[in-house]
Amino acid sequence: MAPQIVSAASTKYDKHPESSSRELFSEAAVQAFEETSISPGDLDAVYVGNFMGDLIEDQGHMGALLADHVGAREAASIRIESACASGGATLRQAVQAIESGAADVVLAGGVEQMSVADIEHVTDALANAADDVYENEQGLTFPGIYALMARRYMHEFDATNEDLAAVSVKNHNNAVDNPLAQFQKELSVNDVLESKPIATPLVLHDACPVSDGASVVVLVSDEFAVDHDLDVSARILGTGQSSDAVALQDRAAITRTPAAERAADAAYADADITPEDVDVVEVHDCFTIAEILALEALGFYEQGEGTRGAVEGETAIDGQLPVNTSGGLLGKGHPVGVTGIGQVVELTKQLEGEHPNQVDSAEVALAHNVGGSGASTTVTILGGA
């Protein structure tokens, strides 16, 4: 019963202060249902990834609320929160619902409305993904956390600010041709290096923006797809998920992300493939350093060599392993609870041969989604229909 993706859609990621979460989610869902013969009433379950609805919109209970808004009032409905890995975790629960036999037709979506709040409030809300006792109360928020990781990585492996900037340049430039991306402006290495410092060694263009948006995928069981003669867009070949200490101080090392290593190992085993089989990748580049750490954790580069991907053009759209052809979190944007689903929407387009930054002969795709500074990580491996 390998789950099949029959439809996938996203709103544009951007600041949408005029739209509530229920409006954004409905917009993505309506678009998804236009592309399949399944209707919302067919849904057995609706899974919603959302991180900060309680804090920004005074709205919890998003599972039932959004199931109703997409026309599936009677479906089993659940909100999943694993910080910025909420989307990836949501998809994995939807996959398990199908694989367990509990559901045949499932919507897995994410939504986040961040821009209606002022930036201090958003920073406070994001900090709920860190350890409140040992990090937040000491004044350490995410730019600072990732700056510590970047600084240590630069020290251990002789990496430079230019190495980090190369990731930002690649991803921003990929975003230019993606109509769903928040930023559509080319950047040079100098543009990045000259942007204002946010937490040394990180500068503004090392960081993803505040974004609103929604993404959904509709999944069905293999049997349901056959019985209803559905057009399949992509297949879920395997998933993996692992955790780590939430507080950076509790990790054995801060230049590796072991939860990602374990999630990747589990997903490769589940899909019965190796890293060499992967054709196109979306990783969680909330900061430039995060993409470099991801490439190493996923087995694409040895430790200390992940910088080579962007610097040498190996992770460019026409490189040997295209990474973040969507623009990534840096260029496409990062509505936090949505991102893991949005990555799968982008990769589904790659596997269908319909991506604006299409990679040649993409047959196997991988998404890597992180919560906090690495405490929650999901890896999803997709194959073409």
- Told to check if 18 binds its own copies by CB under 8 A, we report no
How far apart CA 271 and CA 240 sit, in angstroms, is 10
Size of the site for its own copies (CB under 8 A): 66
What single string gives the DSSP state of each residue in 260-279?
HHHHHHHHHHHHT--GGG--
Binding-site member from 95, 192, 330, 364 for its own copies (CB under 8 A): 95
Q: Specify whether 334 is catalytic.
A: yes
- Contact between residue 303 and residue 296 where contact means Cβ atoms under 8 Å apart: yes
And the tokens for 309? Answer: 């991907």
- Told to check if 133 binds its own copies by CB under 8 A, we report yes
Q: Specify whether 84 is catalytic.
A: yes
Binding-site member from 161, 339, 376, 380 for its own copies (CB under 8 A): 376
Nearest to 106 by CA among 225, 282, 231, 238: 225
Beta bridge partners of 218: 7, 107
Binding-site member from 167, 297, 375, 381 for its own copies (CB under 8 A): 375
How far apart CA 125 and CA 136 sit, in angstroms, is 11
Candidate segments 88-96, 152-160, 212-220, 291-299, binder of its own copies by CB under 8 A: 88-96
Task: Indicate the residue among 116 and 193 with the shorter CB distance to its own copies.
Answer: 116
CA-CA distances (angstroms) from residue 101 to 45, 78, 180, 240?
12, 17, 34, 19
Closest distance between its own copies and the C-beta of residue 313, in Å?
A: 35
Among 84, 286, 355, 368, the one annotated catalytic: 84
- Told to check if 42 binds its own copies by CB under 8 A, we report no
Closest distance between its own copies and the C-beta of residue 250, in Å?
A: 7
Task: Indicate the residue among 219 and 359 with the shorter CB distance to its own copies.
Answer: 219
Report the SS3 class of residue 210. coil
Segment 46 to 75, residues that bind its own copies, using CB under 8 A:
46, 51-52, 54-55, 57-65, 67-68, 72-75
Q: Are strands 202-203 and 197-199 parallel, antiparallel or unpaired?
A: antiparallel
- Told to check if 89 binds its own copies by CB under 8 A, we report yes
Binding-site member from 38, 97, 114, 237 for its own copies (CB under 8 A): 97
How far apart CA 205 and CA 187 sit, in angstroms, is 9
Q: What's the one-letter identity of residue 63?
A: G
Binding-site member from 2, 76, 189, 193 for its own copies (CB under 8 A): 76
Q: Quick one: which H or E segment has residue 192?
A: helix 189-193
How far apart CA 38 and CA 345 sit, in angstroms, is 17
- Told to check if 244 binds its own copies by CB under 8 A, we report yes
CA angle, residues 96, 108, 236, in degrees to nearest 5: 55
Task: Indicate the residue among 47 and 183 with the shorter CB distance to its own copies.
Answer: 47
Among 69, 205, 334, 355, the one annotated catalytic: 334
- Contact between residue 122 and residue 114 where contact means Cβ atoms under 8 Å apart: yes
In the DSSP assignment, the letter for residue 287 is: B
Report the SS3 class of residue 23. helix
Binding mask 136-155 for its own copies (x = CB under 8 A): x-------------------
Q: Quick one: which H or E segment has residue 225?
A: helix 222-227
Candidate segments 257-265, 305-313, 348-356, 358-366, binder of its own copies by CB under 8 A: 257-265
Binding mask 211-240 for its own copies (x = CB under 8 A): ----------------------------x-
Binding-site member from 42, 131, 279, 296 for its own copies (CB under 8 A): 131
How far apart CA 342 and CA 175 sit, in angstroms, is 14
CA-CA distances (angstroms) from residue 306 to 142, 242, 289, 294, 313?
21, 21, 9, 8, 12
Binding-site member from 128, 141, 195, 358 for its own copies (CB under 8 A): 128
- Contact between residue 56 and residue 118 where contact means Cβ atoms under 8 Å apart: no
Nearest to 346 by CA among 336, 360, 356, 361: 356
Binding-site member from 35, 99, 191, 222 for its own copies (CB under 8 A): 99
Binding-site member from 19, 171, 233, 242 for its own copies (CB under 8 A): 242
And the tokens for 3? Answer: 């789950």
- Told to check if 243 binds its own copies by CB under 8 A, we report yes
- Told to check if 250 binds its own copies by CB under 8 A, we report yes
- Residue ranges that bind its own copies, judged by CB under 8 A: 20, 45-46, 51-52, 54-55, 57-65, 67-68, 72-83, 89, 92-93, 95-102, 124-125, 127-133, 136, 239, 241-246, 250, 258-259, 262, 371-372, 375-376
> Which positions are catalytic?
84, 334
